[in-house]
Amino acid sequence: MNDDQEILVERIRRMRRGLPPEPWRHVASHGIGGLTDIGYGEGSDLLLVVSHNGRGVFDCLSGERVARDRVES
């Protein structure tokens, strides 16, 4: 890890954690290794997550993963 990365990691570790501000609410947590991209569909509550291992679609209202495909890198 270079100096810039170490500074960023330390800064993130020092950040205060807590409940999200209104109108946000926590519904689920998912670990995504190798995250490369993330985005919403326009007018949708679905979240597309792309990683080195494939793609996943999450329902942001329930927190459930509703679709998944695996892609060999």
Q: What is the pLDDT of residues 19-60, one digit of tens each?
A: 888 998 999 999 998 999 999 988 999 999 999 999 999 999
Q: Please name the residue that has the structure tokens 């991209």.
A: 37
Collapsing DSSP to helix, strand or coil, 33 comes out as coil
pLDDT tens for residues 57-72? 999 999 999 999 987 5
Q: CB-based contacts of 62: which residues, under 8 Å, 6+ apart?
A: 27, 28
pTM above 0.75, yes or no: no
CATH code for the structural domain at 3-70: 2.40.10
Question: Are 21 and 2 spatial neighbours (Cβ–Cβ below 8 Å)?
Answer: no
Backbone angles phi, psi at 18, to 5 degrees: -175, -170
Q: Are strands 65-70 and 46-51 parallel, antiparallel or unpaired?
A: unpaired
Q: How far apart are CA 61 and CA 47, in angstroms?
A: 10
